[in-house]
Amino acid sequence: MINVDWAQHTWQLRCDRSMVWPRTQTLIVADPHFGKAQHFRSAGVPVPSGTTRRNLDRLDAALADTAATRLIVLGDFFHHRQGVTSALLGQLRDWRDRWPELAVVNVRGNHDRQAGDPPMDLDIRCVAGPWRDEREPAVAFAHEPTTLSDAATLCGHVHPAVRLVGPAKSRIRAACFHFTQQLGVLPAFGAFTGMKVIRPAKQDRVFAVGPDVVVEVSARHEQIDSIV
C-alpha cells in the first residue's frame, strides 16, 4: 500500500487494485465485472470457473483490512445480463450477508446499462455518474473518464496498465493507477479482465501494481515504455 496526496485528500492505493479514502472510511474499486466468466461459458468459451469466489474473497480481505464502512464501485458491477445467474446472485447474497452494515454505491457503467442493476435485496445504491458525496463535493465519481470544472473525478472503465522497461530491455506489463491533475483512473478490480496500456503525459503520476506492492513509476525511477 502507498499513500498519495491528490485533490486535497490523502488516498491509499492497494496491491489488490482497490483504493481507500481514509477521511470517509471508504473503499473504492472499479470494474469488478461480476459474471463475466459465466457469460463466456454460456457462449461456449471454455474459461476457468471460480473467478467470482476469488474476487469476493479479495473484497472481503480489503474490507476487513481497511475497516471501511462504505464501498464505492466505479461501474461495471456486472459484465453482461447472461452472466447474472442464480449461482452468481447466491454468492453475492452470501457476501452481502457478511457485511450487512456496509453502505454500497455503484456508479453505473456501460456494462451496467446493459446488464441492469443488482437486485434490490443486495441493498446496493445505484447512481448515474458523475456522482458526488454531498459531504465532499470537490470529489466526483464516474465510470468513464469525465473532467469537471469544479471537482476532481475518480473513474474506471479504461483498465489502465503500463509497460515497463527493465534491465537488458526486458518488458513487463502491469495494471496501474493513473492520476492527472483532475482525473484519477483506477485499475480493474475484477480478476478476469483485460488491460489497456496507457500513454501518460510526463507530468502525470502513475503507480504500477505488483503482487505485493504498489510503486510509483516515472522517468526518474523506471522507464515507462509508452510515456509521451
Question: Which class does domain 2-224 fall in?
Answer: alpha beta
Q: What is the pLDDT of residues 155-195, one digit of tens each?
A: 999 999 998 876 666 678 899 999 999 999 999 998 757 77
Does 7 have pLDDT greater than 90? yes
Task: Return the sign of the alpha-carbon dihedral for residues 118, 131, 190, 59.
Answer: negative
With pLDDT > 70 as the criterion, what percentage of the chain qualifies?
84
Does 225 have pLDDT greater than 60? no
Of 157, 154, 123, residue with least CA distance to 31: 157
Of 217, 221, 214, residue with least CA distance to 2: 214
Asked if residues 58 and 35 have their Cβ atoms less than 8 Å apart, the reply is no
Residue 178 is which amino acid? H
Q: What is the pTM of this model?
A: 0.88
Average predicted confidence (pLDDT) for the chain: 86
